[in-house]
Amino acid sequence: MKKLENKVALVTGGSRGIGAAIVRKLAADGAAVAFTYSRSAEKAEEIAVEIIAGGGRVLAIQADSAHQQAVIDAVNKTVVEFGALDILVNNAGIYIGKELAEHTLGDYDQIMAVNVKAVFVAALEAVKHMSIGGRIISIGSNMADNAVGPQTTLYTMSKSALQGLTRGLARDLGPKGINVTLVQPGPIDTDMNPADSELADVLRTKMALAEYGTAQDIAGLVAFLASEDGKFITGSWVTIDGGFNA
């Protein structure tokens, strides 16, 4: 029996990069997986076709995490389609890089809406359907503990907020048997942060392992936390950054 057999998962921002790897891994481990996407409809379709061809169950949902109702609807569509919700993975996130003086209040509202508020909204809706053994896993960043340079203020703030949210949710949901954890990736080879970019060479000099991680590395950790193997981990985070923050 696969580790996540008979489980139902929802992954936000699951059509590309780390999110897509998480969707594939959870499906490979036996879960029925719903995932949201904002604009990458073609990529979402490719993932869905791939999982179905492999005998899995999947649902692609167009939803912009910046909009509260879209997040709520995604949770409920998952439950309607699969009859339950056991695992919520809050992966959707955005980065706004600007000089500090160029930021607007609109930038603040946008990054907080996606990186923080959407996580809270999804959790509130998901727990209505979760029972003992439920999992809420959010994808943060090692930058929550290390603002690596300029033009990171809003992003670092938003990812740091997830630490407090994780602690609080774990206390509130522990009595219900629901675990809440946070995964904090460092440099990961994706189309948004490729390992062959000029910036990558600079980042490698700051890492203990001096090499980028892969989206599959993050997906493997998420799958571990979602499984019975991770049943005693809650209210904390795991930084997976090749020693960047060491």
What residues act catalytically? 155
Q: Are 149 and 98 in contact (CB under 8 A)?
A: no
Q: Look up residue 146 and give its two tokens.
A: 């290390």
Rg of the chain, C-alpha, whole Å: 17
What is the three-class DSSP state of 101? helix
Distance CA 211, CA 155 (A): 23
Q: What is the C-alpha separation between 187 and 201, in angstroms, rounded?
A: 11
Distance separating alpha carbons of residues 187 and 170, to the nearest angstrom: 27
* DSSP classification of residue 116: I
> Do strands 179-185 and 58-62 pair parallel, antiparallel, or not at all (unpaired)?
unpaired
CA gap 59, 46 in Å, rounded: 12
